Amino acid sequence: MKKLLMTSGGMLFLFFLSFSDSSSTISFQKTDYPIGNRPEFGTVGDFDKDGDLDLAVGKWFDENFSILFNDGQGDFSSIVNYPDSSGCLNILAVDIDKDTDLDIITSHWYNSLGMVDSTLSLFYNQGGGTFSGPTLIQTGKAPLALTSLDLENDGDIDLVTANYEGGDITILKNLGSEAFDTPLHMVPGSLPTDVASADFDNDGFADLVVTYRGDNTVSILLNQGNGTFAPKVDYVSNTGPRFAGIFDLDQDGDLDLGVPDFDASQISVYKNQGNGTFDTAVYYPTGYRPNSVVFPDLDKDGDPDLAVSSFYDNYFTYLEDIGNGQFAFGFDQFSGNGPISALSGDWNQDGWVDLAVTNTYSHNISVFLTIPAIYGVRVLAGSDEFGYKGGTVNVEFNLKNTGQVIDSFQVTVSDSLGWTISPPLSPVQLMPAQEVLVSVGVHIPTTALEGTKNKITLSGASLSSPASQSASLYVTALELCGDVNNDGKLNLADIIYYVNFMFKDGPAPCNLLGIR
C-alpha cells in the first residue's frame, strides 16, 4: 500500500510526499516554481560556476528560456528569463566557445507567425550566468531535439538536430571559429523525435542514436572516425519512440538505451552487447504518453533506476533496478499537468539524487528533493550483563538489514571506562532482511569496584545508509566469591592467602563470603 502525506506552505507550493512499501520508504520535498507559458524541455548545468547545479528550461509560447539559479540548498527561486527568436522547444547546455562557461542552444518548432521554424539560437554565457542575445543557426525543418558531440575529436563541439517535420537529422560541423559549416541533412526517416550522442562501440568516437516515431525504430549510427557515419542500424521499437535515454544498465562499461514509447505507454530498454549492437528491447509499463526518462539511483544501491515522465497521466513513474538489469514498479509520483522533461542531479548537495520535472500545462517546474530513505542496517542491544572482576563477559548486539540489497556494516565498539574490549570481526555482511548476532568480549579488571557499571556501545554505518547507527548496554562488575586475594581467580593461591591470614597474621581476606 502506497502512502501519501501532504502539507503545504510557502508561496511556491511546497509539499512533502512519502511513498512506502513493505521494505523501504522514498520521500520527496516538492516545490513548484512558476516559470511561464508552456515550459518544454530542460537541461542541467552550473551556469554561474558557483559549484551548484542550476536549471535551464525552454518555453514554447513565451518564446524565451529561463535560468533557475540554485542557492546551494536546492532552492531555485532566483529566475532570469532570456528572450528567444521563436518558441523554444528544446534546450542544450554546452561550452561552444571553450571559455569554460556553459552556453545555451535552443531549438524551435513554430515561430510567432505559426510557421515552421528551421533555426537554432545560440546564447553565449558571458560569465556569472548572464547570456548574450541569440545567434541564429540554420538547420533542418522543425528541430524537435538536438545534441552535441565532437565528430572528429578535433576539440570543437559539433551539433546534430532531429528534424520532426523535415524527416531527417542535420549535422552542423563547428569550423572552430564559433561558426558552423553548411548544414548536412542525412538519415531520412518518419517523424524523428530525438537524437543523442555517446560512444556505443567503445572506439573513442561519439556515435548517434535517433528515435523515429513514425517508423517505430531506434537507429544507431556508428562514427567511422573521420566525421562520417556508417549506415544506420534500426532496432524495432513498440510504438512511437519519443526520447533516447543513455545509461549503463548493468554497469559493464557499455552504454545501453532506455526509450520511452509515447504511443505505447511503456519504456523499451536495449542492452548494448559491447560493440554498438543491441539486444531486442525489454518492455516495462509506464504511465500514459511517456515523454522522457532519467536514471537516478534513488535508493543508493549502486544500480541506476528509472524515472519516466508521463504526459497525460500527470506523474512520473519510478522503476527500481532489482538486479541483473531488471526493473520493478516502484511508485507513481504526481508532478503537474502535462509533465514533459525529467531531470536529475543532487540539487542540495546532500549526497542523494534529486529530480525535477517540467509541467507544460501547469506552466511550472516541480523540484523534488529526495529525503534520505529508511534503508540499511539497524543496531539493537541485547540484555545488560554482570561479570566477576578479573573475568570476561560476552555481550550481544543484534544487526538487522532493513533494506532490499546485500549490505555491509562497519563495526566500532567503545566503552565508557577503558576496559579491555574484544570487538567482533568487521565489516559484517548481511543479506536482505537478515539478522545477525554479534558478540563483544568485555574483560572486567580486578581493580574495578563492586557494582561498577561500564557502558558498552556498538556503532557503525552501512553502505546503503551512511548515517551512523548505535546501541548501548551495561556490564556491572561483581566480586568473585572465594577470591580472597582479589586477583580475579579461584586457585591454590587463595588457600595459601587464607592460611597465612588464619595462622601467620597475614592480611585479611577479600570476598570470603561473597557478600556483594
The verdict on residue 202 lying in a domain is: yes
Domain end marker among 338, 371, 404: 371
Q: Phi-psi bin for 350: left (phi > 0), alpha (psi -120 to 50), beta? A: alpha
Which residue pairs, CB below 8 angstroms and at least 24 apart, start in 175-181?
178/96, 178/97, 180/137
Residue 452 sits in a domain of what CATH number?
2.60.40.10
Cα separation values, 370 from 83, 282, 298, 452, 476, Å: 32, 28, 8, 46, 44
Shared domain for 207 and 313, answered yes or no, is yes
Shared domain for 337 and 404, answered yes or no, is no
Domain end marker among 371, 388, 423: 371
The verdict on residue 512 lying in a domain is: no
Shared domain for 303 and 448, answered yes or no, is no
The verdict on residue 508 lying in a domain is: no
Tens-digit pLDDT profile for the chain (516 aa)? 222 222 223 334 444 444 433 334 577 889 999 999 999 999 999 999 999 999 999 999 999 999 999 999 999 999 999 999 999 999 999 999 999 999 999 999 887 778 899 999 999 999 999 999 899 999 999 999 999 999 999 999 999 999 999 999 999 999 987 799 999 999 999 999 999 999 999 999 999 999 999 999 999 999 999 889 999 999 999 899 999 999 999 889 999 999 999 999 999 999 999 999 999 999 999 999 999 999 999 877 788 999 999 999 999 999 988 877 889 888 899 999 999 999 999 999 988 899 999 999 999 999 999 876 555 677 777 778 888 888 888 988 888 887 667 788 888 899 889 999 998 888 888 887 788 888 999 998 988 888 888 888 888 877 766 656 777 778 888 766 665 566 656 667 767 766 776 777 777 766 544 333
Among 333, 250, 261, residue whose Cα is nearest residue 15: 333
Domain end marker among 371, 399, 430: 371
Shared domain for 353 and 446, answered yes or no, is no
Shared domain for 117 and 131, answered yes or no, is yes
Q: Residues, the chain, total?
A: 516
The verdict on residue 488 lying in a domain is: no
Q: Is 429 helix (H, G, I), strand (E, B) or coil?
A: strand
Element (DSSP H or E) covering residue 493: helix 492-503
Residue 102 sits in a domain of what CATH number?
2.130.10.10
C-alpha 159/C-alpha 172 separation (Å) is 5
Q: Is 298 within 8 Å of 317 (Cβ atoms)?
A: no
The verdict on residue 507 lying in a domain is: no
Shared domain for 367 and 383, answered yes or no, is no
Q: Which domain holds residue 73?
A: 27-371
- The residues, ordered by sequence, that sit 6+ positions from 115 with a Cβ below 8 Å of its Cβ are none
Shared domain for 319 and 468, answered yes or no, is no
Shared domain for 241 and 297, answered yes or no, is yes
Shared domain for 403 and 280, answered yes or no, is no
Cα separation values, 199 from 143, 174, 244, 254, 310, Å: 23, 19, 14, 9, 28
The verdict on residue 334 lying in a domain is: yes
Shared domain for 364 and 385, answered yes or no, is no
The verdict on residue 458 lying in a domain is: yes
Cα separation values, 108 from 62, 144, 157, Å: 12, 7, 20
The verdict on residue 491 lying in a domain is: no
Shared domain for 220 and 84, answered yes or no, is yes
For cell 568487521, name the residue. 426
When divided into structural domains, the chain yields a total of: 2
From the centroid of its chain, how far is CA 319? 13
Q: Is 72 within 8 Å of 51 (Cβ atoms)?
A: yes
Q: How confident is the model at residue 486, as a pLDDT?
A: 64
From the centroid of its chain, how far is CA 269? 19
Among 110, 116, 160, residue whose Cα is nearest residue 139: 160
C-alpha 497/C-alpha 479 separation (Å) is 17
Shared domain for 242 and 257, answered yes or no, is yes
